């Protein structure tokens, strides 16, 4: 017998969370060994570890409490990794030296696996004068490009997480450029981006008033607030970014508003954090706590929920002491405030089990009740910890209780805090749970609706063959087990059919009792009108949300996979079609065989101070009269170059033969810098010989029409008429497993097959 309820759950555990030695031999023989490892590591900081290890194990067993992936994978392994998921870095100084000091800190944090957030509002706008230098400032977006390149470099070195969040205030003079930056499909791809929206700005929007763009006390220009709001909405409608963060509301509601100011969040937005703030995450699996599911007597076991929350709070508080930190400043910040982020997953499944339609007023009311109970239990558990271990060092009872979040807390909880203190400054957050939800049996993710009732997943076997298996939502599978072939009730809804304002209603219901914030994606249909789309954001503001993230299928990020239907053979043409101008974009789950003849060109690259030239040949595949790169050959007489040129030849050719938008190869190569220094070539500084090779390949792509121009990405719309050669579903392939199962979940594009997302 196995604890896993679905094959995908065991595969996710083996791939992401199972402890293995350096050679790949499993140390965790079973998932029970994983639970024992975590329980032992978190109990080790207790005065009496044995007294708590069993209690912690019971909370983990049957996937009832799900620590975030960093804890599950790292606790008890003795590896030098952080168990914290989220970091906001220090305030970026408005100086060249300070900016690059911050860049170094970001690299060190991501190297250990942390997703980071930055507020770039502190950098002077483009064109502003620079004291002591006869030049104008290049502006915050130019430095964001540097951060983006650094993040791609860290990821190419094998880091699991490379996600970043960039924020900018709505009154910064460069905010309009910030809003439209990601309309370029090749720019700032490692960032999620959000505009910090203030209360006065929203007042000006509603009043159709003017709005000053200011830096350093100087008004650079004045715009109409509603025009700026519409620009944010239009960019988000067209490109799914930027999101909006209601920053004044976050600071007003913050329990710690007396000792910190927040200006940024972690990559998915559920953790607004101060400079050097860090937070760890974990989720209560609501789907495992419902008794008598799908019956008239169905109910969530509130006693079990309260007990589980109390244990989870203690475990998470112990992580603060058990974890390593990339930077000393992050450790000091975490221990001064002992912030934790306890959330939920499987909420939509739990609602289905008790007979409620996600998004309905009844479901929102039930969500409010459940989240209220979790908040009560978490705060009271933290009070009990304060009695035993002391309050967090910066605790000030009267100031803490005067915060916006505490004003609607129950009087008995506030009295307990006033009398005994509290161990953790903030306790609740709803984080992305895509991977751990799969690991727990494909429960619905976070507070999101069920994405799909079922879909087919191709699984790579050890012998190289692929098998197909059905992946079924946890609640749907439970219905089948209990009710057989009986049709699903009409209260079953999923993300594909849910009205956007129903999403907002659920987010607002949960937000009332969450002292941090919520990672949630409001899926919008492609044909939603612009006015209706804007109404989603205004509803989020009016209903008390702390931010809003939507996803509407668009030209840059593509369409969400339709999982309810599969393409018929007639929908997959034998000859790839071409619509409009430019190069066809073809996504292949298997590489094409090489034709006998290919068209190509050879380029000579002479690197300064090098004795021998490098010759680069790029051959193209011709499809429907249009050329796309198929293979590369790199040759040199310099034997010092032999190994890496052969490796580069093989790797780039392998990527090209897989198809898709391969323009990223150029960007990756161009971002590589040589610590020994680059060279000036044709009046332009090139940071390394690899960057020069990338420039040659880009030149070829432009010449053949595959790219529109230098740094401009694909000439044609990368999602127009995307075709899977071998008859698979349409859409972009996952960069981790190759499956065509990408979906926007909780603010991050996520693979439903392997759980991969750039946000971890």
Kindly report, residue by residue over 383-395, the tens digit of the pLDDT: 999 999 999 999 9
Stretch 233-251: mean pLDDT, rounded? 95
pLDDT, one tens digit per residue, over 266-319 is 989 999 999 999 989 999 999 999 999 999 999 999 999 999 999 999 999 999
Q: Are 244 and 197 in contact (CB under 8 A)?
A: yes
Given a cut of 60, whether residue 735 has pLDDT beyond it is no
Q: How confident is the model at residue 621 (pLDDT cuts 50, 70, 90)?
A: confident
User: Which residues contact residue 110 at a Cβ distance below 8 angstroms, ignoring those fewer than 6 apart?
Assistant: 116, 151, 154, 159, 161, 162, 164
Pick the range with the lowest mean pLDDT from 92-106, 463-477, 637-651, 713-727.
713-727
Q: Give the DSSP H/E element, type plus range, for residue 750.
A: strand 748-751
Report the interhelical angle of 328-337 vs 302-322 (nearest 10°).
140
Can you tell me the distance from the alpha carbon of 326 to that of 321, in angstroms, rounded to the nearest whole number? 14
Q: How confident is the model at residue 581 (pLDDT cuts 50, 70, 90)?
A: very low
Pick the range with the lowest mean pLDDT from 11-25, 34-48, 290-304, 323-337.
11-25
pLDDT, one tens digit per residue, over 187-232 is 888 899 999 999 999 999 999 999 999 999 999 999 999 999 999 9
> Of residues 86, 268, 751, 754, which has the active-site annotation?
268
Stretch 733-751: mean pLDDT, rounded? 64
Is 254 assigned a catalytic role?
no
Pick the range with the lowest mean pLDDT from 201-205, 575-579, 740-744.
575-579
User: Which residues contact residue 68 at a Cβ distance below 8 angstroms, ignoring those fewer than 6 apart?
Assistant: 85, 280, 281, 282, 283, 431, 436
Output the CA–CA distances (angstroms, integers) from residue 497 to 491, 501, 524, 562, in the order listed: 12, 12, 9, 11
* Residue ranges per structural domain of the chain: 7-83+276-420, 87-253, 569-724
Q: What pLDDT, on the 0 to 100 scale, is given for residue 582? A: 38
Q: What pLDDT, on the 0 to 100 scale, is given for residue 717? A: 35
Q: Higher model confidence: residue 310 or residue 590?
A: 310
pLDDT, one tens digit per residue, over 677-731 is 788 888 778 888 888 999 999 999 998 888 877 766 544 433 333 333 333 334 5
Burial of residue 628, with CB atoms counted within 10 A of its CB: 0-12 exposed, 13-18 middle, 19 or more buried: buried
Model pTM score: 0.78
Q: What pLDDT, on the 0 to 100 scale, is given for residue 721? A: 35
Count, residues in the chain: 760
Q: What pLDDT, on the 0 to 100 scale, is given for residue 54? A: 97
Pick the range with the lowest mean pLDDT from 416-425, 612-621, 746-755.
746-755
Q: What pLDDT, on the 0 to 100 scale, is given for residue 465? A: 60
Given a cut of 90, whether residue 362 has pLDDT beyond it is yes
Given a cut of 90, whether residue 512 has pLDDT beyond it is yes
Q: What pLDDT, on the 0 to 100 scale, is given for residue 566? A: 35
> Of residues 266, 285, 424, 494, which has the active-site annotation?
266
pLDDT, one tens digit per residue, over 466-487 is 667 788 999 999 999 999 999 9
Can you tell me the distance from the alpha carbon of 174 to that of 223, in angstroms, rounded to the nearest whole number? 12
Q: What pLDDT, on the 0 to 100 scale, is given for residue 671? A: 80
Stretch 457-464: mean pLDDT, rounded? 58
Q: What pLDDT, on the 0 to 100 scale, is given for residue 461? A: 56
Output the CA–CA distances (angstroms, integers) from residue 396 to 7, 425, 589, in the order listed: 49, 10, 58
Pick the range with the lowest mean pLDDT from 38-47, 98-107, 127-136, 550-559.
550-559
Given a cut of 80, whether residue 600 has pLDDT beyond it is yes
Given a cut of 70, whether residue 625 has pLDDT beyond it is no
Q: Two tokens at 560?
A: 């969400």
User: Which residues contact residue 48 at a Cβ distance below 8 angstroms, ignoring those fewer than 6 apart?
Assistant: none
Stretch 344-354: mean pLDDT, rounded? 98
Is 266 assigned a catalytic role?
yes
> Of residues 53, 105, 270, 631, which has the active-site annotation?
270
Rounded (5°) CA angle 504-507-512: 125
Stretch 128-141: mean pLDDT, rounded? 80
Taking all residues of the chain, what is their mean pLDDT, rounded to a whole number? Answer: 85
Given a cut of 50, whether residue 574 has pLDDT beyond it is no
Q: How confident is the model at residue 47 (pLDDT cuts 50, 70, 90)?
A: very high
Is 268 assigned a catalytic role?
yes
Percentage of the chain surpassing pLDDT 90? 58
Q: How confident is the model at residue 562 (pLDDT cuts 50, 70, 90)?
A: very low
Q: What pLDDT, on the 0 to 100 scale, is given for residue 728? A: 37
């Amino acid at each position: 017998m196995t604890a896993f309820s679905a094959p995908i759950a065991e595969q996710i555990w083996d791939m992401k969370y199972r402890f293995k030695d350096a050679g790949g031999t499993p140390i965790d023989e079973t998932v029970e060994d994983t639970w024992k490892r975590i329980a032992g590591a978190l109990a080790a900081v207790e005065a009496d570890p044995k007294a708590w290890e069993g209690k912690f194990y019971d909370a983990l067993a049957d996937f009832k409490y799900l620590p975030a992936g960093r804890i599950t994978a790292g606790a008890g392994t003795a590896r030098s990794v952080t168990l914290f998921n989220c970091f906001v870095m220090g305030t970026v100084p408005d100086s060249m030296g300070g900016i690059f000091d911050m860049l170094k800190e970001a690299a060190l944090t991501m190297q250990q696996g942390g997703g980071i957030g930055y507020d770039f509002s502190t950098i002077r706008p483009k064109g502003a004068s620079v004291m002591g230098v006869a030049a104008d400032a290049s502006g915050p977006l130019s430095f964001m490009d540097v951060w983006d390149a650094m993040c791609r470099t860290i990821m190419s070195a094998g880091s699991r997480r490379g996600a970043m969040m960039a924020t900018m205030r709505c009154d910064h003079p460069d905010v309009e450029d910030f809003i439209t930056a990601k309309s370029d499909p090749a720019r700032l791809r490692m960032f999620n981006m959000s505009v910090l929206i203030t209360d006065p700005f929203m007042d000006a929007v509603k009043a159709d008033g003017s709005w000053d763009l200011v830096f350093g006390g100087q008004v650079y220009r004045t715009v109409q607030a509603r025009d700026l709001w519409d620009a944010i909405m239009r960019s988000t409608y067209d490109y799914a970014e930027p999101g909006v963060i209601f920053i004044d509301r976050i600071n007003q509601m913050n329990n710690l508003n007396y000792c910190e100011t927040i200006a940024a969040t972690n990559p998915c937005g559920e953790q607004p954090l101060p400079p050097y703030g860090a937070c760890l995450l974990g989720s209560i699996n609501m789907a495992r706590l419902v008794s008598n599911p799908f019956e008239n007597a169905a109910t969530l076991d509130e006693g079990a929920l309260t007990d589980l929350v109390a244990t989870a709070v203690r475990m998470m508080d112990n992580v603060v002491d058990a974890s390593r930190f990339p930077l000393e400043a992050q450790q000091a910040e975490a221990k001064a405030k002992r912030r934790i982020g306890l959330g939920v997953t499987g909420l939509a499944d739990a609602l289905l089990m008790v007979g409620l339609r996600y998004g309905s007023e009844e479901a929102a009311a039930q969500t409010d009740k459940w989240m209220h109970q979790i908040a009560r239990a978490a705060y009271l558990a933290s009070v009990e910890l304060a009695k035993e271990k002391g309050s967090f060092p910066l605790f000030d009872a009267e100031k803490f209780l005067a915060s916006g979040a505490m004003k609607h807390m129950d009087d008995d909880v506030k009295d307990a805090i006033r009398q005994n203190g509290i161990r953790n400054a903030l306790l609740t957050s709803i984080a992305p749970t895509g991977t751990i939800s799969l690991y727990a049996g494909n429960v619905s993710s976070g507070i999101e609706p069920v994405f799909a009732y079922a879909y087919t997943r191709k699984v790579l076997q050890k012998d190289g063959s692929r098998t197909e298996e059905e992946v079924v939502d946890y609640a749907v599978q439970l219905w089948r087990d209990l009710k057989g072939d009986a049709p699903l009730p009409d209260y079953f809804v999923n993300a594909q059919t849910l009205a956007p304002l129903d999403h907002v209603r659920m987010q607002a219901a949960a937000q009332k009792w969450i002292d941090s914030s919520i990672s949630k994606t409001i899926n919008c249909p492609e044909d939603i009108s612009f006015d209706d789309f804007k109404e989603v954001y205004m509803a989020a503001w009016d209903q008390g949300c702390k931010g809003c993230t939507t996803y509407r299928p668009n030209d840059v990020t593509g369409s969400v996979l339709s999982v309810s239907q599969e393409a018929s053979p007639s929908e997959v043409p034998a000859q790839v079609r071409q619509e409009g101008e430019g190069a066809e974009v073809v996504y292949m789950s298997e590489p094409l065989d090489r034709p006998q003849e290919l068209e190509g060109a050879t380029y000579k690259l002479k690197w300064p101070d090098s004795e021998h030239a490098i010759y680069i040949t790029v051959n193209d595949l011709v499809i429907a009269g249009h050329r796309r790169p198929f293979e590369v050959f790199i040759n040199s007489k310099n034997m010092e170059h032999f190994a890496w040129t052969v490796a580069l030849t093989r790797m780039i050719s392998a990527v090209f033969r897989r198809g898709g938008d391969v323009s990223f190869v150029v960007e990756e190569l161009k971002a590589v810098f040589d610590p020994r220094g680059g060279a000036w070539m044709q009046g332009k500084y090139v940071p390394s010989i690899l960057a020069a090779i990338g420039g040659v390949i880009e030149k070829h792509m432009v010449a053949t029409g595959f790219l529109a121009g230098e740094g401009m990405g694909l000439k044609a719309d990368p999602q127009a008429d995307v075709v899977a050669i071998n008859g698979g579903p349409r859409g972009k392939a996952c960069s981790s497993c190759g499956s065509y199962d990408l979906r926007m979940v909780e603010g991050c594009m996520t693979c439903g097959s392997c759980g991969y997302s750039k946000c971890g």
